[in-house]
Amino acid sequence: MNNHISDDELLGLIKSLNLEEAVPEREGRSGGEDLLPSGEGASVHVENNQIVVRAVEGGGYPLVEAVPPVRLLKNGKLVEGRTRVGAGDKLEWQIAREPLYAIEVSENKLEAYFQLVSKVRYGWNLVDQPASSPLRIEAVEDREVVLETVNLSEVMRTLQSMGIVKNIRSAVIFQELAHPTHERRLVAQGLRPEPSQDARLELYFAQEVQSSIEEKEGRTVDYRNHLHIPSVKKGDLIARRYPMVPGVIGYTVYGELIEPVPPKDITVIAKENVEIRGDGEVYAAKDGRPRMTGSQAVRYFDIATSYVVNGDVDLKTGNIAFSGDVIVHGSVKEGMVIESLGNVYIFGNAYQATVTATGSIQATGSIVKSHFYSGYYGVVFNRLYTNCKALNDQLARLVQASQLLMGVIEAKGQRVGIGQILMTLIESKFKDVPKTAADTLSCVKSIQRLASKEMNDLRDQVGLLTDPRRILGLDSFNLIHALQNTVRETYDMVERMQEIGANIDVGQCYLSEAKATGDILIRKEGVLQSTLTCRGSITFFGRDAVCRGSQLDAQDTITANVVGGDFGGETMLKAGRRITMNRMNPGKLCIGKLCRQILQPIKHVTAYVQDGELMVEFEK
């Protein structure tokens, strides 16, 4: 006998199982109409606090319902709403007793409140009623019968049973019982912890280059040297570290200790030409540009050394690779390459050049047919990070669902291949997995020029999810687990490589590509047939700056002046949060994945997302 489960049976089992959540069954109560009458016809009346059911030959099945606070029980089961009664049914009643008082503890467990509903609980009597249908079972309070009285001792016992022990205000409880207000009264209070203070750094130098135009003698203007690179003198104090301060422990009304959030420390490390003195004071040991690198927890200070080119970078100088800042008092000519482990400053233009920097790149003139990269290839790697993160989450849920399904099938005494389970789940419940895998492969292909063993492993392993034959051939979860590890290692690697604040700042940009992990700043005429991508914002400063035939992609905002035109191809602007501009000719706007084609010129444009919808405000 073949007990191997078929694809159709497996798919039916998946549909019958709720792999996401279990819906609890309703218990303990029944709708009145669902309880069928028992026995022959009857009559029902109320007499002497009892509900009397009598058989009536040829009689009907009268309707009975309870009026709150009366609760009706039919044959021992609580009834909601109306119910029909037969001669074989037994009807009982009870009063829904609400608590005479409530004690409520705040969500943070720092306060406990007492609220008195009623100081005394009285008895109840049913109202006598003759037989009828429908019959409403009603009761009235009997103030001569006292069942329960609230006193201070009882409330204190309740507090104790709840574990509330700190700073109990018994006088407040006594006053409320003596003179009821029926309001929430604070009767116990814990102690809020005093927050910790993180270590912090105070910097005494500008981290960004300042741009200003100064008038020289003879009323002439110096346009060549308007970039002012931050610099310090030997012996200058460049930063001070303030130590972290631990918080003070608090406690809840239950006496539980509340630990304050531990403070975050900052480790300051001096590199070349920097000294740390006293309690975290950082001094320059030579003249130059101070810089701070590292993460939030570890900060490195050094005085960047500079490689200065007093003229153009061309065949005479050769390509430049330098572990510090590169300053070019001229232009970067065709085919030349600058590689810097610091900032790059170009007091001129770049023609068909490639400039890379771990810090920022600034050029006062134009970049033409050039490639500028600052930081760690922000957007491409960010997309790889996002897809790997999503794929890791999807794989975790896929494996969990597969193991659950295997357990159900094995319990039925049937057999199924792991590959068959995975393929069926992907086709029915996890249809996003192949798409996410394809998106991840697309990212990997886009960075092949940074090929490494890790990237090749990622490409080969993710390819499994796009090949149904390979999936069906799996006989264990080993390859899936290996893929999960590779995906996690990839997005961890990308996260470690990101650098904050690596900007690209240029005059204008033609037929070029610029990628920054920080912002992209366009100071003069604008951008033509170029691709700009950044994690931060893209900003045009020139009043008449244009953006034509270009693709702009910023994860934060884009601020432009004139966008699109009659030549140069379509212009597309994509931002993560907001786009503003003075004028837009036909082109395309996107906020996130929401896009709109602009067909007619519009002015004073603002685009953003509100409640999941792309909003474009403008004047015609």
Q: What is the 3-state secondary structure of 302-362? A: EEECEEEECCCECCCCCCEEECCEEEECCCECCCCEEEECCCEEECCCEECCEEEECCCEE
* Predicted local distance difference test score (pLDDT) of residue 382: 38
Domain spans of the chain?
Answer: 29-183, 200-204+230-303, 378-497, 519-620
Domain 378-497: CATH superfamily is Flagellar protein FliS (1.20.120.340)
Residue 451 has what pLDDT? 46
Specify the pLDDT at position 164: 93
* E-only strand ranges, 168-226: 185-189, 200-203, 210-211, 214-215, 221-222
Name residue 101's beta-bridge partners: 116
247 and 194 Cβ atoms separated by less than 8 Å = yes
Q: Are 509 and 548 spatial neighbours (Cβ–Cβ below 8 Å)?
A: no
Q: What is the 3-state secondary structure (H, E, C) of 278-297?
A: CCCEEEECCCEEEEEEECCC
Q: In order along the chain (620 residues), what is the average pLDDT of each group of 10 residues?
A: 70 67 44 58 89 85 91 91 89 90 94 93 92 91 90 93 93 94 94 94 74 48 50 87 94 94 91 86 86 80 83 88 82 88 89 88 94 65 67 90 87 85 88 89 59 73 86 87 86 56 91 92 93 93 90 94 80 94 92 91 92 87
CA distance 130 to 338: 102
Helices (H), 463-511: 468-472, 478-497
Scored b (16 or more CB within 10 A) or e, 479-517 reads: ebeebbebbeebbebbeeebbebbbbbbbbbbbbbbbbb
Domains 200-204+230-303 and 519-620 share a fold: no
Please return the burial class of 244, using the count of CB atoms within 10 Å of its CB with bins 0-12, 13-18 and 19+: middle
CA distance 145 to 147: 6
Contact in structure between 288 and 305 (CB atoms under 8 Å) = yes
Instruction: Give the separation between CA 261 and CA 219, rounded to whole angstroms.
Output: 59
Amino acid identity, position 272: E
Q: Three-state SS for 273? A: coil
What is the Cα Rg of the chain in Å? 38
- Run of H or E residues at 13: helix 7-16
pLDDT of the residue at 215: 47
Q: Select from 41, 44, 39, 49 the least CA-distant residue to 140.
A: 49
* β 185-189/214-215 pair status: unpaired
Adjacency order of strands within the sheet including 267-270: 267-270, 298-304, 289-294
> 3-state DSSP call for residue 463?
helix
For domain 200-204+230-303, which architecture applies?
Beta Barrel (2.40)
Nearest to 590 by CA among 610, 605, 607: 607
Q: Are 540 and 559 in contact (CB under 8 A)?
A: yes
Alpha carbon 152 to chain centroid distance? Answer: 48
Do residues 303 and 289 touch, judged by C-beta distance below 8 A? yes
Distance CA 227, CA 515 (A): 21
CA distance 400 to 404: 6
pLDDT at residue 216 in the model: 47
Residue 151: the pLDDT is 92
| pLDDT score at 225 | 42
ω into residue 69 within 30 of 0, thus cis? yes
What 8-state DSSP symbol labels residue 443?
H
Instruction: Quote the Cα angle for 542-543-544, to 5°.
Output: 90
Determine contact, residues 78/71, Cβ cutoff 8 Å: yes
User: Domain 519-620 belongs to what architecture?
Assistant: 3 Solenoid (2.160)
Query: CA 513 to CA 551: how far, in whole Å?
Result: 10
Number of H helices, E strands in the chain: 9, 51
